[in-house]
Amino acid sequence: MREVILSTDSLTKKYKDISAVDHVNLEIKQGDIYGLVGKNGAGKTTILRIITGQTFATEGQISLFGATSEEALNKKRQRIGAIIETPSFYAYMTATQNLEYYRIQRGIPDRTCVKEALEEVGLTEARNKKYKDFSLGMKQRLGLALALMNRPELLLLDEPINGLDPFGIVEIRNMLLKLNREKNITILISSHILSELSNLVTSYGFIEGGKLVKQITSEGLAKECDRYIELRVDNVEAMTALLEVKLNCTSYKVAPDRAIHIFDYQDQPNKISELAVKNGIGLLSIMLKEINLENYFIQLVGEESLQKERAANPPEDRRTNPPEDRRIDNA
C-alpha cells in the first residue's frame, strides 16, 4: 500500500470573517499526480501557500511525510519543490546564472544541481541565453528547473500551464509525466484547465468556495463521467418514484436544473419515455448525453451552490417542498 505523504485535517484559513480555505481534508499518496481543481479564487493557491509555510492556517493541521509539528514541518519542507507564484528571474542574466544565484541563496552545496535541473526541463542548449530572450514556455520551464534544484520528492505547482499555447502545454505535461514516472516525484498541481488535467493526473480534489467538494481517483472519475439519459418531465417527483417502482431503477440523479440523469436503460430509452406517457407525466425531452470533466465540475459546483442557497434560505414548511436530489449508485 502506498504511503500517504501529505494530508490535511480541517485545514482552514480566514481573513477576518472570510474563509479562503474552509475545513479542507485532502490526502495525497506517494507517486500521485494530484489535481486540485477549482475556479480562480476558490482557495487553491492559499492551500499551497499553507503547505509550503508561506502563510499559516487559522485552524486545522498538516501532515507532511509524517510530520505535524511546525518545527518538524519546516524540516520536511526541504523535500518539497514548488512554483506557487511566477519566480523572479533577472532579465539580463542567463538561465545558468539565474539558477546559480538561487542555489547560493538557498544554500544548496551541490553545484551540479543547476546543470541537472536544466537537463530535466530541456533547457541545456539555452543555458547561456538571457532570460529576457526566453519565450513564455521557456520561462515556465526555467521556473520548473528552479523547483527541481533541491531534488524534491514532492512538487507543488500552481497553474503551471496557464497562458501557454497548445505546444507549450504538451511540453510541460510530458515533463511532469516523466518526472513522476522516472524520478518517482509526487506532484500536486492546481489548475482550472480541466481538459488538460484529464491527460495528466491520477487523483482529483474539486474545490469551490474554499471547501473541498469531492476527492476522487481518475479511475473513479472515469466511472462517474459516463453516459446517461437526460430526462425532462413536468413532474420530477412522480417520475423518479415510477423509475424505482416500475423499472427498479435506482441509479439516477436529479440535477440542480431539475433534469433527471438516468444511468441505467441507456440502450432502452423507449422504456423510460413509455413509462412517463402511460402514467400521464408530461415528457418535455429525452436524450443520451455524456459527462466530460468540465460538465462534471460544473455539476459539482452547481450542487454545492444549491446546498449553500438552501442552507441560507430554509423553507418555512418542509412538507411542501420536494425531496432532496439524490443518486443511489449500484457500485
Q: Which one-letter DSSP state was computed for residue 320?
A: G
Choose the final residue of a domain: 195, 222, 249: 222
- The total number of structural domains in the chain stands at 2
CA distance 224 to 11: 27
- Closest C-alpha among 148, 207, 206 to residue 172: 148
What is the pLDDT, as a whole number, of residue 164?
84
What is the pLDDT, as a whole number, of residue 306?
44
What is the pLDDT, as a whole number, of residue 322?
35
Q: Is residue 17 domain-shared with residue 151, that is, in the same domain?
A: yes
For the chain, the average pLDDT equals 87
What is the pLDDT, as a whole number, of residue 305?
55
What is the pLDDT, as a whole number, of residue 134?
95
**Is residue 72 exposed (0-12), middle (13-18) or buried (19+ Cβ within 10 Å)?**
middle
CA distance 63 to 52: 12
Q: Is residue 27 domain-shared with residue 136, that is, in the same domain?
A: yes
Q: Is the dihedral of CA 292, 295, 296, 297 positive or negative?
A: positive
Those residues of the chain that have pLDDT short of 70 are 302-331
Q: Is residue 210 domain-shared with residue 67, that is, in the same domain?
A: yes
Choose the final residue of a domain: 222, 247, 274: 222
What is the pLDDT, as a whole number, of residue 319?
31
Residues contacting 184, CB < 8 A, separation 6+: 30, 31, 153
**Is residue 77 exposed (0-12), middle (13-18) or buried (19+ Cβ within 10 Å)?**
middle
Do 315 and 305 touch, CB atoms closer than 8 A?
Answer: no
Q: Is residue 20 domain-shared with residue 111, that is, in the same domain?
A: yes
Indicate which CATH number applies to the domain containing 171.
3.40.50.300
What is the pLDDT, as a whole number, of residue 205?
94
- Closest C-alpha among 103, 2, 121, 11 to residue 57: 11
> What are the Cα distances from residue 238, in Å, to 105, 265, 279, 287, 317?
68, 18, 9, 19, 20
pTM: 0.75
- Its domain, for residue 272, covers 225-320
